[in-house]
Chains A and B, each alone.
Chain A
Amino acid sequence: MKSNILKYGIILAIAIIAPLVLTSDYHRYLLFLCCVFAILALSADIIFGGMGQNTFGHQAFFGIGAYASAKLALSLGMTPLLGFVAAFVVCSVVGAFIGYVCLRRLRGMYLAITTFGLGAILFLIARNWYQFTGGLTGIAGLPVPRLFGFEFHSEFSQYYLALALLLLTIYLIRRLWRSRVGRAVISLREDEPVAMSIGISPTFYYTLMFALGCGIAGVSGALYVHSLTVVNPMLFHFQYMLIILIAMFVGGMGTLAGPVLGAIVYVWVSEWLRFSEALRFMILGIILLIFIIFMPRGIYPSLVSLWGRLANWIRRPRLRGELP
């Protein structure tokens, strides 16, 4: 327990000190992006890693959350922090509907194709319904988040806002998996028929979790656009799904640290590859492929098991030679 607190303390300290060390606005913006994509990847990991199901339309909720918050801020003058809550609510409701309809019967590849098609539909609607979404140019002039008169204008302050939301997300998800609902979902993931036989309804719990994942994705979308101050339908584009997949697979699915680590890796690697737009995405695709084929567990679980083996090796160096 004590070592855990120390470990988390060190990580938290690094996260807090990071923008003080990296002083340029550009690097602070990258740190902010890490937080946004970490929240997004964590939200998808509820569905992929936690539920053991899949969705290839998760990027749509990034866009829906962004538009929900942006539209409320522009038409009703709602303050963006309340807009985040609104984004969560809107995305949860839409997610609950889609989740209920899809997860009632569909699993595996059928679920993948259904959600992929839904994502494509939502992207096309967002692109074509220009009266509402502003067409491909989008809508500019969104307010930045405000709290008690303080405006999160600089990259520096926006990073801390994003970090706070990321910590909140991690805390919520951690609590969630230790709760009654979380245990029910884990039992469904491990063996659906057995879990059903003791009275756990897969439709109900899966819908609940799906809605939660979508809601959190919406918050990350809202957070993202209120720092960019412009929102456009490209937020619905499939490329965000690939970012999610890279963050989850590179980091490690089904863990809390994995998607965060993966998001950090994604942001920095993609910035190193900034010199060419097409090659950048191509190389990211190659990285994803390599991880799927050679390291499907991801970096974080591999590191943990490597650390365990290393610790064993250090602790008992002579045993192997002496035992018969």
Chain B
Amino acid sequence: MEWTIFGQQLWFGLERGAVYVLFAMGLTLCFGVMGIVNFAHGELVMLGAMGVYSLMTFAGLPFFPAVVLCILGVAVVGIILNRIAIQPLLLKEGQGAWSVLLSTLAISWILIHGGYAIWGPNTQILDFPFKQGLNLGGVSIKATGIALLVAAVIAVTALYFFLFKTKIGKIMRATSQNSIGAKLVGINVNMAYYYTMVVAAALAAIAGIFLMPVVVAYAGMGQGILVMGFAVVIVGGMGNVTGCVYVGLLMGLLEALFGQYVSPLYRSVFIYGIMILVLLIKPEGLFARR
């Protein structure tokens, strides 16, 4: 066994894991606060990636303004998504969460093929600003990866601060614990849903932007990462943000190592398989409280 290859795969796994953490945190927030499964979350990643690509290539913006604009844009998409496909159905009597699952599935379909209509089926390559790399004993570490890890750490810390220190975070946590109780004490639950979607969409956009140098970006990229996100959310426990961070990194590492040592073609199958096993044996997740 060559240790440089092992180290390289560990690094790749860490990169992927950071993206999965960013992605799955939004998904798990949606589940925790609103009690829904958002099938359109993968397409928010796609919009993040393709949006920053378009802003830089067609509008000619520099990297950082493009990133900020793109995150804001995807957050607006999240608001629209919430207004059109999530809230009207959640407020209805009966099978709210079930209809939301289907409506977000339809939205994801619309966004994928809208993306194909705009950007075409080709994969896009972004001119990322961090080109330097360093060589750590045979393991090549690109600056994009370091930027990704820094962004992920900042995003996770900011999210923790937001959830546990600010008033809006308190509103979101209260809604996630008991939405009827939250309503009774005068919390505007509908606004909590909006906040959740904005945070989730912004996280998805960041994941999408930093996913561009890791995997190829095209209009249909959301589907693959969606199942990965589900795997992380399920194994970490639905609605559990802390579990999500650990499991996201773990899944990235497992995927990279499986791809290197067992079979690169079936590495996604391996992760999906883990998810299904956990669902069958312990559906509440490995990091469930109690």
Question: Chain A interface (Cβ within 8 Å of chain B)?
Answer: 54, 101-102, 105-106, 108-110, 112-114, 116-118, 120-121, 124-125, 128, 238, 242, 245, 249, 276-282, 284-286, 288-289, 292-293, 296
Contacts and interface: CB of A to CB of B under 8 A. Distances in A.
Contacts of A278: 113-114, 116-117
Contact of A106 (B89, B113, B279): B279
A288 B113 contact: no
Contacts of A245: 102, 105
Interface string B261-274: 00001101100110
Tell me whether chain A's interface is mostly helix, strand or loop, or mixed: helix
Contacts of B283: 105-106, 110
A113 B37 contact: yes
B272 A120 contact: yes
A4 to B, nearest CB: 31
A110 B109 contact: no
Interface string B249-282: 0000000000000000110110011011001100
Nearest to B102: A292
A105 B116 CA distance: 38
B269 A105 contact: no
B37 A109 contact: yes
A116 B272 CA distance: 10
Contact of B280 (A54, A114, A279, A293): A114
A282 B113 contact: yes
B280 A289 contact: no
A113 B89 CA distance: 20
B109 A285 contact: yes
Contact of A285 (B107, B273, B275): B107
Contact of A296 (B37, B99, B101, B234): B99
A116 B37 CA distance: 12
B110 A293 contact: no
B31 to A, nearest CB: 8
Instruction: Bin chain B's interface residue count.
Output: 35 or more
Given A106-B280, A124-B268, A117 B113 contact: no
A117 B275 CA distance: 8
Given A278-B117, A282-B110, A116 B85 contact: no
B37 A112 contact: yes
B33 to A, nearest CB: 15
B227 A249 contact: no
B279 A276 contact: no
Contacts of A242: 105, 109
Nearest to B39: A116
Contact of B234 (A113, A120, A121): A113
Contacts of B273: 121
A124 B227 CA distance: 12
B116 A285 contact: no
Contacts of B269: 121, 124-125
Nearest to B108: A285
5 contacts: A124-B272, A278-B114, A281-B113, A288-B109, A293-B84
Contacts of B117: 276, 278-279, 282
Given A116-B230, A128-B265, A288-B106, A293 B279 contact: no
Contacts of A238: 223
A114 B276 contact: yes
A209 B105 CA distance: 25
A54 B279 CA distance: 16
Contacts of A116: 227, 230
B128 interface: no
B88 interface: yes
A238 B106 CA distance: 12
Nearest to B264: A128
Given A285-B109, A286-B110, A112 B266 contact: no
Given A249-B102, A285-B113, 19 more contacts: A101-B280, A108-B97, A109-B37, A110-B279, A113-B234, A113-B279, A114-B280, A117-B231, A117-B272, A117-B276, A124-B266, A125-B266, A128-B265, A128-B266, A278-B116, A289-B103, A289-B110, A292-B102, A293-B88
B106 A285 contact: yes
A238 B230 CA distance: 16
Contacts of B37: 109, 112-113
Contacts of B84: 289, 293
Contacts of A293: 84-85, 88-89, 103
B160 interface: no
A101 B266 CA distance: 22
B248 to A, nearest CB: 17
A292 B104 CA distance: 10
A206 to B, nearest CB: 15
A46 B98 CA distance: 17
A276 B276 CA distance: 37
A109 B101 contact: yes
A282 B103 CA distance: 14
A203 to B, nearest CB: 13
